[in-house]
Amino acid sequence: MAAITAAMVKELRESTGAGMMDCKKALTQTGGDMAKAIDYLRENGLAMAAKKAGRVASEGLVRLAFNEDGTKAAAVEVNSETDFVAKNEDFASFVGTLADMALETDADSLEAFMALPYKGEESVQDTLTNLIARIGENMSVRRFEVLETPGVKYAGYVHGGGKIGVIIGLETEADADAIAEVGKDVAMQVASMRPRFVDESGIDPEYLEHEKKILIAQALKEGKPENIVEKMVAGRLKKELKETCLVEQSFVKDNEVTVKEYVDSVAKQLGTPIRVAEMLRYEVGEGIEKKEECFADEVAKQMGN
């Protein structure tokens, strides 16, 4: 029997898409015979993941995790091909575990995160590969982020069972329990109103310049005199920033006040300052180009035409 080397395991893994431990077991069971090992994996339904890897995964779940005192938070997005799989208990459990792992990890890249041991055993990548083989459709861990700024407490909100996840960071001396409700309210605001920035101080100067150029061009096309265009643009820009900056938006639960005014009113009740310092918004599948095929083409493809 041939000795099973790491290179053999790597080769089998690359050709089948199966997990590392499954590849090692297949080679051991077949005496190191690569062809037989591939057959073994196929017979056991473990070589299917590679074939599914080309399919677009734009559904899925977002999960959040927070430490006990609210000083650290994490978000994870994992995609699947269909909403049906996103509701699968094994899939949901996998995503929830990854969020908890993200909260504890020092991994600074998705690649490093995927190499972490999952529940002390095989890697996150291998666990995902096995899940793909078992459930029968492509999945991918798309992104994760960890927030831990000194002096900031975190709260969050998950919408639609995991379609949107928002984390809000509030700079305050109040404890996590005291700011839980205001944090959730502001997170709901972000989920529904999609602000681009927390406040004007966070606006990218390039974005500001870009918007200014567009507004100037619009005003000139409207035939406005050049000498009043600057003033007009300043006014329009201010209005646009009011819509795109979180703290300047009308509060969705009470449109008589802005988000900042609402937060300030809670701070007054608690007797300690609160400032919205950070926000993170993950929406499942945002920015992923969904692959659409004609039903007739799909049938023809399955028939081998």
58 with 79: CB under 8 angstroms?
A: yes
Query: What pLDDT, on a 0 to 100 scale, did the predictor assign at position 305?
Result: 43
Query: What pLDDT, on a 0 to 100 scale, did the predictor assign at position 184?
Result: 97
Does domain 205-242 fall into CATH 1.10.286? yes
**How far apart, in whole angstroms, are the C-alpha atoms of residue 124 and residue 284?**
20
Provide the whole-model pTM.
0.74
Check residue 117 and report its DSSP letter.
B
**How far apart, in whole angstroms, are the C-alpha atoms of residue 99 and residue 285?**
17
Query: What pLDDT, on a 0 to 100 scale, did the predictor assign at position 53?
Result: 52
Does domain 6-47 fall into CATH 1.10.8.10? yes
**How far apart, in whole angstroms, are the C-alpha atoms of residue 265 and residue 58?**
40
Does domain 59-202+245-283 fall into CATH 3.40.50.2300? no
Query: What pLDDT, on a 0 to 100 scale, did the predictor assign at position 72?
Result: 98
Closest by Cα among 141, 2, 130 to 61: 141
Query: What pLDDT, on a 0 to 100 scale, did the predictor assign at position 237?
Result: 83
Joined together, the tokens standing for residue 22 give 């499954």
Closest by Cα among 59, 128, 67 to 100: 67
* Residue 191: CB atoms within 10 Å: 20
* Residue 220: CB atoms within 10 Å: 13
> Burial, 34: exposed, middle or buried (Cβ in 10 Å; 0-12, 13-18, 19+)?
middle
* Residue 117: CB atoms within 10 Å: 12
Query: What pLDDT, on a 0 to 100 scale, did the predictor assign at position 303?
Result: 46
Q: Looking at the DSSP assignment, which residues form a beta bridge with residue 280?
A: 167
**Vertex 13, ends 12 and 14: CA angle to 5°?**
95
Per-position pLDDT tens, the chain of length 305: 568 898 888 888 777 777 788 888 889 999 998 888 887 887 776 665 555 555 556 799 999 999 999 999 999 999 998 888 888 999 999 999 999 999 999 999 999 999 999 998 899 999 999 999 888 888 999 999 999 999 999 999 999 999 999 999 999 999 999 999 999 999 999 999 999 999 988 888 888 888 888 888 888 878 888 778 888 888 888 887 778 899 999 999 999 999 999 999 999 999 999 999 999 999 998 877 554 444 445 445 444 44
Closest by Cα among 95, 97, 105 to 148: 105
Domain-wise residue ranges, the chain: 6-47, 59-202+245-283, 205-242
